[in-house]
Amino acid sequence: MKFVASKLFACAVVTFCVAAAGTAAQEAHSHSASKPVVAEFKNAEGQTVGTATLSSAEHGVKIKLDMKGLPAGEHSIHIHQVAKCEAPDFKSAGPHFSPAGHMDHDHNSAPAGDIPDFTLIIAADGTAHVSVVAPNVTLGDDASSVFSNGGTSIVIHAVAVPGAAGSPARIACAVVKKPE
Ligand SMILES: [Cu+2]
């Protein structure tokens, strides 16, 4: 009798665990299937100069850029640490987004906010319509999320300087915050 009782108990525990795992899986799924988030770019004069539409990609976050009224040519673009875009210099956006602990694992890795091998090219009419994937960030609840610590910002620089840590002038900035 004692054997049967313990086996029944084991069955009950297994059933409970399976049910709990199922619930957790569902929650994780609903987080990853988030809706696109739109961030609005402002220039130094406070005018709207385009939007970034962020959505989950298989590896990272897809950023769809629809720009207007920007100077023609090549511009660096990064995700910066602080969700604050104060004109005219946008220094409020802080350095490139680098989640706490990220650099401890790999000192050679670039900040998560970098978008490798990408330069924003603005056409002669001041517009650009292009999509790019930022591979080292997420739209989730983890430390690499663009929503972590109250959000981040996307900054467009005056010129394209590969590898420069945000030193060229900042000409446009968009706050990225988790939708309510
Ligand atoms: Cu930058």
Per-residue confidence (pLDDT) for residue 110, from 0 to 100: 78
Determine the residue type at 107: H
Q: 112: CA distance to ligand 1 center in Å? A: 12
- 22 has a pLDDT exceeding 50: no
CATH 2.60.40.200 matches 37-176 = yes
The secondary structure of residue 103, as a DSSP letter, is H
Q: 64: CA distance to ligand 1 center in Å? A: 17
Q: 85: CA distance to ligand 1 center in Å? A: 12
Residue 136 contacts residue 105 (beta carbons within 8 Å)? no
User: 8-14: which pairs have CB atoms within 8 A and are 24 or more residues apart?
Assistant: none
Count CB-CB contacts under 10 A for residue 156.
Answer: 27
Per-residue confidence (pLDDT) for residue 99, from 0 to 100: 87
Per-residue confidence (pLDDT) for residue 163, from 0 to 100: 58
Domain boundaries, the chain: 1-32, 37-176
Count CB-CB contacts under 10 A for residue 12.
Answer: 10
Residue 153 contacts residue 93 (beta carbons within 8 Å)? yes
Residue 41 contacts residue 67 (beta carbons within 8 Å)? yes
Q: 95: CA distance to ligand 1 center in Å? A: 7
- 67 has a pLDDT exceeding 80: yes
Which of 19-33, 92-106, 122-136, 156-170 shows the lowest per-residue confidence on average (mean pLDDT)? 19-33
What percent of the chain shows pLDDT beyond 90? 65
Count CB-CB contacts under 10 A for residue 80.
Answer: 27
* CA 144/CA 151 separation, integer angstroms: 11
- 26 has a pLDDT exceeding 70: no
